[in-house]
Amino acid sequence: MQKLNRRSLLLVGFTLFSMFFGAGNLIFPPYLGAQAGADAWLAFVGFAVSAIGLPVIGVIAVARAGGLSELAGRVHPRFAQIFALLVYLSIGPCLAIPRTASTSFQMLAPLIGGDAMRQLIYSIVFFAAAFFVALHPEKLTSWLGRILCPTLIVLIFVLFFGCLFHPVAEHYGVPTADYASLPGLTGILNGYQTMDTLAALNFGAVIALNIRDYGIEDEQQVRRST
C-alpha cells in the first residue's frame, strides 16, 4: 500500500501549520498574556483547548468523514448546505479575510506609513497573491510547506526570543476581571476567536487533496496521513 514518506508527511504538516497560523494566532496569544497577567499560564491552557485541540479534532473529523458536506450531512442534507455556507462566510469575506489583510498591513505600517491609499494598494496586492495561490489548492504543499512555513517558524522564534530577552514589563501584571475569576474558561473563549476550529472543517479537505496529489489513492491511507 502506497503511503507518504517522512519528508512528504513533514511538508504536509508544515502546510497545515502555515494555513492555520493567521492573524488571530498572532493577535490573541500576546493579548491574552497582557490581559491574564499572573494567571497567564492557566489561561493559556484554556486557550490551547479551543485554539489547538479543537482544530486538530476538526481536521481529523473531516478527513474521516470524507469532507465537510459528508460530515454535516449526518445531521441533514439541508443543514450541511447552510452550515457549510456559514463556515465559508465566517472564515472568508465576513471576518477572517479582512482581519488577515488589516493585521499584516498594520505590522508593515511603521515602515511604509498607514494612510488609506497605502492600505488600499497593499490590500489589492495581498488579495491578488492570495487569489493566485487559491487557484491551485493541490499545490499548497509546494508553496506553503517548503517556503512559507519555515520562514514563519523562524520569525516566530525571533519574536519570541525578542520578547523573552527584552520584555515590555519586568513582572506579570494584574489580571483583568474575567481572567481573575475564570482564567481557564476565558482562555477557551478567546482561543475560539482565532476561528481555527471553523477553518479546520475546510482545511481537512484541502490537506487530503494535497496528499492525493502525491499519488496516494487509497482513501484509508489519505485519512491516516491527514
Domain that holds residue 191: 6-225
Examine residue 90 and state whether it is found in any structural domain, yes or no: yes
Instruction: Name the domain count of the chain.
Output: 1
Examine residue 1 and state whether it is found in any structural domain, yes or no: no
At 183 the pLDDT is 92
At 78 the pLDDT is 92
Give the separation between CA 194 and CA 189, rounded to whole angstroms: 10
At 1 the pLDDT is 56
Examine residue 158 and state whether it is found in any structural domain, yes or no: yes
Examine residue 151 and state whether it is found in any structural domain, yes or no: yes
CA-based nearest residue to 208, from 51, 87, 86, 68: 68
Q: Hey, what's the cell of 156?
A: 516566530
At 224 the pLDDT is 81
Question: Could you report the average pLDDT of every consecutive run of 10 residues in the chain (226 residues)?
Answer: 80 84 80 88 93 90 83 90 86 79 86 88 89 78 76 85 77 84 92 86 81 81 81
Q: How many helices (H) and strands (E) does the chain have?
A: 14, 0
Examine residue 189 and state whether it is found in any structural domain, yes or no: yes
